[in-house]
Amino acid sequence: MSALPGLFTTILNMSITASYVAVGIILVRLLLRKAPKIFSYALWGVVLFRLICPLSFTSAFSFLGLLNIDSQNNAGVLEYVSNDIGFMQEPTVQSGIGSIDSAVNPSLPQTTPIASVNPMQIWMDVFSLIWLAGIVVLLSYSVISYIKIKRQLLTATLVKDNIYESDLIGTAFVFGFIHPKIYVPVNVGDADLSYILEHERTHIRRRDYLIKPFAFFALILHWFNPLMWLSFALMSRDMEMSCDESVLQKISQDAKGGYSSSLLSLSVKRTGLFAANPLAFGESHVKARIKNVLNYKKPVFWVVITSVIVLIGATIVLLSNPQLRYSNLTLANVESMTLVSELDDTKSTVITDNAEWVDIIDMINTAKRSKIPEEYRPTYGELYPIYNTLTVSAKEQGAAKTYSLMIYHHKDWDVFHGEYEYKLALNCSSESNKTELWGLPYAECYQLMEWINGIRDSKQNNDISNGEASDMNLNTAGIAKLVEDNISIIMSSPKTSSNPQDYINAHQNEYENFFKYGGEDALQYMLTQFEAGNAEGLRGQIMMRLCKELLGARNNITDESLSPQEWYNALDIRQEIELPHFEYDGQDPIEKLVYATEVEKDSASNKRGGFIIVAPKVFGSCEEEDMLKVFVTTYSARYKLFGNTLSQEGGSIIPAAITYRKDNNDRYVLEKYEQARDGSEFGPSVREYCTMPVSGKEIKGLADMIFKHYTDYEDIRILLHDNLFKHLKKNGIKDATLTNSQGEVEFSMSNPNYKP
């Protein structure tokens, strides 16, 4: 059952591709109108291929490249309708034609956070069942008809060789798959018979009796696509006409009249209803064939040559998939990977092992294909502070390319999504100096973070066993070069200005290099330059700006009128005041448990220092046997304190269910921590844990309560600041202020509003 919608989606995607190809072939057929029909007939092979085979090769000349499709997965399969459409928050279809998409997409049912099963998923199940039912009906109809005919042909009598005659049939045809026989009606005149037999023999020689049933089988798989029915009809016509032509080529040209008379007499011989069938359309088959026969001339050389060229060209154009807008990176392309990691304010450089490359390459390819909505797409301005940069040098189509995977941290995103404090960006620069930037979904970022942590841990172990790493000096020289190179580029233009900001604006990339690659080391180097008095004029101005930005909250000078050297002389780099994590001092036993669990959870994953404050909203708790389950949404934030300046380092708002087990001493021990998952899984994951701890019975209305609160969590935002205030006060801090990125005061010890 679960495989069926997937199979149906594959068929649907092939059907859409085949439709485009069929339209293309119908157009090319117009070009080939005067050409031998064998070329038109051969072209339909491309549609057949597209109907059966989901993959194809790529070429720059693909017809599908004209459409705006960016939906090819790694294996060369075109996807207009994603296999995951049933699980998407906002299902979308890409047909490559804007007006169709905009008409179809609003009609697709969206997930509401309340619904537990995505309605699109149900629809896909229903559609795939209808599809299957259609196949079963058509296949059994075909098989039954086949058997009926076969039984009627049993009594056909031998004429000679493989030719049989019967008075039960109205026309001549080939029947059978392994040993095909020709069946003709009785009482066909000798003159007609010779033409008819030649026609049927030609069918057998060309294996048409196998091709047509095979094509019909493909048609059955795609029965829902009217364009394929049309294609099948046109293919059949092209097949007959090219067969006629090949007969005429064999017998003499003068036989045209006789041959077409035979066609006519055979078709008149058919009895039954003579009234025009209301379902039939277009010129009747026989009429078109007779006209084609009468107009047939032995093709001249240049017509054949032109047709061959058109056929080959059209086949390549229609058979191939468009090239990816971004080619995929492969293991063979990669030359080296270097990781520069700066977590915990220590910088380390690691040359990575080949064995790790495959995952990273996958990650880069995912990023290149990813469609990050505009508002999430990072810009260079947001790319700092950067904690880790993985640089991948590669050669693509002969050109050197450098990819940088950067884990960065963006203030505005911290709490806004209630999710994550890191984002991942991919930057690509090539020799031609073109740079491109992509964003990556959280899952990849998390994967990369884990990976980096693994490398860092193993490296630390190595450092301990090998003693101090020997490349430290090299590193210092490298930093000096980095700083000096980039500063001199920034200072190079635009000579005419006296405003240092103009120089920085003109060289954003170089400016950002300090944050991407320099970090804490660059800061230390520049401070020694101030110390040495080597910070005059424009150089000093630019270095002061860089240092201020790198120092962030540690900078104690707010006076903007000072000259660089004056600023440095007055600078007293604030040291971080280290504080413990928050501790609950209330009486509520459940809250006490929750606070302890939440702080413990966050501090366990905290590798960047600072102290943690949590503010849980408890929706309720239930006890069953020896289990206690508490449902919460927790606002959790991490802060650092420099002097009287607070800096928020990250935060999250995540609903969760915490299960405790009562041990022998009547103490509650943490049993399980279930947390809401990201994106489209958010709703289902919350519903999943809104159950009784032991029996697993659903708790009605609870999930909806959590969803409602999640849209407006002002209460826990206030609680967070209250707790922050209490915590600072308890630790003897009398003055502390938190400003957001717009410079507005978010929290201040001196603000009476925050006195709980």
Taking alpha carbons only, the member of 594, 622, 615 closest to residue 702 is 622
CB of 164 to other proteins, least distance (A): 6
Span interacting with other proteins, options 232-240, 306-314, 336-344, 579-587, rule CB under 8 A: 232-240
243, 208 in Cβ contact below 8 A?
A: yes
CA dist 82 to 91, 93, 107, 133, Å? 9, 7, 16, 23
Candidate list 122, 133, 294, 474; residue touching other proteins; CB under 8 A: 294
Distance CA(528)–CA(520), nearest Å, equals 13
Distance CA(675)–CA(678), nearest Å, equals 10
To which residue do tokens 């620069």 refer?
429
Candidate list 68, 112, 152, 488; residue touching other proteins; CB under 8 A: 152
* Phi/psi at 358 (5° precision): -55, -45
Candidate list 58, 127, 191, 285; residue touching other proteins; CB under 8 A: 285
Candidate list 55, 74, 117, 282; residue touching other proteins; CB under 8 A: 282
The reply to whether 281 sits near other proteins by the rule CB under 8 A is: yes
Across 538-570, b (16+ Cβ under 10 Å) vs e yields bbbbbbbbbbeebbebbbebeeeeeebeebbee
The reply to whether 34 sits near other proteins by the rule CB under 8 A is: no
Span interacting with other proteins, options 226-234, 301-309, 608-616, 633-641, rule CB under 8 A: 226-234
**Complete DSSP assignment for 213-251:** HHHHHHHHHTTT-HHHHHHHHHHHHHHHHHHHHHHHHHS
Q: Angle at Cα 157 formed by Cα 153 and Cα 163, nearest 5°? A: 85
CB of 296 to other proteins, least distance (A): 10
CB atoms within 10 A of CB 428: 21
The reply to whether 45 sits near other proteins by the rule CB under 8 A is: no
**Complete DSSP assignment for 70-125:** --B-TTSBB-SB-TTGGG-SS--B--S-HHHHHHHGGGSPPPPTT-SS-HHHHHHH
Name the DSSP class of 608: S
CB atoms within 10 A of CB 616: 24
Candidate list 272, 381, 467, 732; residue touching other proteins; CB under 8 A: 272
The reply to whether 543 sits near other proteins by the rule CB under 8 A is: no
The reply to whether 229 sits near other proteins by the rule CB under 8 A is: yes
The reply to whether 146 sits near other proteins by the rule CB under 8 A is: yes
Candidate list 38, 43, 77, 172; residue touching other proteins; CB under 8 A: 172
The reply to whether 205 sits near other proteins by the rule CB under 8 A is: no
**If phi over 0 gives left and psi between -120 and 50 gives alpha, with beta otherwise, what is residue 580?**
beta
CB of 126 to other proteins, least distance (A): 26
The reply to whether 277 sits near other proteins by the rule CB under 8 A is: yes
The reply to whether 357 sits near other proteins by the rule CB under 8 A is: no
Distance CA(487)–CA(98), nearest Å, equals 47
Span interacting with other proteins, options 148-156, 483-491, 578-586, 692-700, rule CB under 8 A: 148-156
Candidate list 58, 249, 267, 429; residue touching other proteins; CB under 8 A: 267
CB of 354 to other proteins, least distance (A): 55
Span interacting with other proteins, options 13-21, 103-111, 143-151, 651-659, rule CB under 8 A: 143-151
Give the three-state DSSP class for 143: helix
Could you say which residues in the range 635-674 bind other proteins, by CB under 8 A?
Answer: none
Name the DSSP class of 321: E
- Count how many residues are written for the chain: 756
Could you say which residues in the range 582-641 bind other proteins, by CB under 8 A?
Answer: none
The reply to whether 141 sits near other proteins by the rule CB under 8 A is: yes
24, 318 in Cβ contact below 8 A?
A: yes
The reply to whether 156 sits near other proteins by the rule CB under 8 A is: yes
The reply to whether 168 sits near other proteins by the rule CB under 8 A is: yes
For other proteins, the closer CB: 258 or 643: 258
Total number of residues that touch other proteins (CB under 8 A):
65
Span interacting with other proteins, options 104-112, 161-169, 189-197, 392-400, rule CB under 8 A: 161-169
**Dihedral over alpha carbons 448, 454, 456, 459 (to 10 degrees):** -140
Candidate list 116, 171, 731, 741; residue touching other proteins; CB under 8 A: 171
The reply to whether 466 sits near other proteins by the rule CB under 8 A is: no
The reply to whether 233 sits near other proteins by the rule CB under 8 A is: yes
Could you say which residues in the range 247-266 bind other proteins, by CB under 8 A?
Answer: 256-257, 260-261, 264
The reply to whether 290 sits near other proteins by the rule CB under 8 A is: yes
Candidate list 209, 567, 707, 710; residue touching other proteins; CB under 8 A: 209
**Dihedral over alpha carbons 63, 66, 68, 69 (to 10 degrees):** 10
Give the three-state DSSP class for 630: strand
Span interacting with other proteins, options 72-80, 155-163, 372-380, 559-567, rule CB under 8 A: 155-163
* Phi/psi at 206 (5° precision): -85, 5
The reply to whether 236 sits near other proteins by the rule CB under 8 A is: yes
Give 408's strand partners.
386, 423
Q: Angle at Cα 178 formed by Cα 174 and Cα 182, nearest 5°? A: 20
The reply to whether 165 sits near other proteins by the rule CB under 8 A is: yes
The reply to whether 199 sits near other proteins by the rule CB under 8 A is: no
Name the DSSP class of 328: P
Give the rounded distance of the alpha carbon of 663 from its chain centre.
Answer: 47
CB of 708 to other proteins, least distance (A): 55
CB atoms within 10 A of CB 342: 21
The reply to whether 411 sits near other proteins by the rule CB under 8 A is: no
Q: Angle at Cα 395 formed by Cα 391 and Cα 400, nearest 5°? A: 75
- Dig out the tokens for 696 from the structure: 């697993």
CB of 246 to other proteins, least distance (A): 16
For other proteins, the closer CB: 213 or 756: 213
CB of 34 to other proteins, least distance (A): 17
The reply to whether 395 sits near other proteins by the rule CB under 8 A is: no
Distance CA(148)–CA(511), nearest Å, equals 82
Span interacting with other proteins, options 225-233, 468-476, 666-674, 723-731, rule CB under 8 A: 225-233
CB atoms within 10 A of CB 503: 24
Candidate list 60, 274, 465, 696; residue touching other proteins; CB under 8 A: 274
Site residues for other proteins per CB under 8 A: 141-143, 145-146, 149, 152, 154-158, 164-175, 185-187, 203, 209, 212-213, 216, 229, 232-233, 236-237, 256-257, 260-261, 264, 267-277, 279-287, 290-291, 294
